[in-house]
Structure formats: structure tokens, C-alpha cells
Amino acid sequence: MTTSADKNTFSPEEQFLRAWDVAKLLGISIPTVWRWAREGKLPKPVKISQRITVWKKTEIIPCVEALQAG
């Protein structure tokens, strides 16, 4: 059985991206990253502390590939 706590566990080898990393990969501005996340165009970010929010790299790469494909 999977609980909501299981969904937020991280493996040590998993890589995370901050908003500026996502913006750079996608060629968009940081405000656009946040807007796309709110609109559901990007995966939901993970809040790892009160001031730090990240995206899993494995979830962002398909977005980059889709944007490049046109």
C-alpha cells in the first residue's frame, strides 16, 4: 500500500532542480516556471523545506524533450 508519505520520499541518487535550473533547461523565465507549474504545464514541484522548492529531474526532462519536439 502506498501512502502520501511514500510519494515524498527521496532516493539518495535522485537529482533535483530549482526553479532557475528548470527555467534554464526550458529556455523560459523563472516567473514562467511558476506559472506553468500552477497551470499544470509542468509537474508539481516538491517543497523540501519552508523556503526550498524543487522539481525531480526525471519529471522535468520529458517536458524539455516535448518542448524541443515542437
The rounded mean pLDDT for the chain is 88
| Domain span holding position 65 | 14-69
Considering the domain boundaries, does residue 64 fall inside one? yes
Which residues partner with 17 through β-bridges?
Answer: 55
**CATH number for the domain including 45?**
1.10.10.10
pLDDT at 13 (0 to 100): 75
Separation CA 31–CA 41 (nearest Å): 13
Considering the domain boundaries, does residue 7 fall inside one? no
Considering the domain boundaries, does residue 6 fall inside one? no
CA angle 32, 11, 16 (to 5 degrees): 20
Task: Say what the pTM is.
Answer: 0.78
Considering the domain boundaries, does residue 41 fall inside one? yes
Query: What's the rounded mean pLDDT across residues 13-25?
Result: 94
Query: What's the rounded mean pLDDT across residues 19-27?
Result: 96
Separation CA 69–CA 65 (nearest Å): 6
pLDDT at 3 (0 to 100): 47
Split into its structural domains, the chain has a count of 1
Cell 515542437, located at residue:
70
